[in-house]
Amino acid sequence: MPEIHVKTNRRMELIDITDMINSIIAKSEVGDGIALIFTKHTTVALIVNENEAGLISDIEASLKRLIPKLDYKHDRIDNNADSHLRSILLQSSIVLPIKSSHLDLGTWQRVILIELDGPRERTVTIKLLSENKGI
Ligand code: ZN
């Protein structure tokens, strides 16, 4: 299965991975179908939203406000409970339509990886299904 590798640079960071996914689709034989975009990490999330600098900053601030850094039980072994708790508000996979060999997204929609416990090397798995060939 194709994979995307993303190196993150901060503890929380939003990274637009739309072009990387479209590049994988373009190299495949899928013209029309669906893409499953999945990450096996427990402190990473995937969203579809607008990649606008102010909004990116607002998303980071909102996640920190919703799940503040407190004294959690998991911190005794791993010191990243806030990262796990932020990830359960989000999702680890998304399914999107493919049309004419690229993601069929709205004008302002982008696929964004949310790093919640960086900096790290992260992997996103892409599974493509063709409407015609069952690839
Ligand atoms: Zn942990």
For residue range 31-49, what is the model confidence (pLDDT) as tens digits? 999 999 999 999 999 999 9
- Inside any domain, residue 114: yes
Cα(5) to ligand 1 centroid in Å equals 21
Distance CA 21, CA 121 (A): 17
| Domain count for the chain | 1
Cα(120) to ligand 1 centroid in Å equals 13
| Residues 56-82, mean pLDDT to the nearest whole number | 97
Closest Cα to residue 32, out of 95, 108, 104? 104
Taking all residues of the chain, what is their mean pLDDT, rounded to a whole number? 96
Cα(54) to ligand 1 centroid in Å equals 29
CATH number at 30 reads 2.60.120.460
Cα(32) to ligand 1 centroid in Å equals 38
- Inside any domain, residue 135: no
| Residues 106-122, mean pLDDT to the nearest whole number | 98
Residue with tokens 């479209």: 22
Which residue segment(s) compose the domain that 56 sits in?
Answer: 3-130
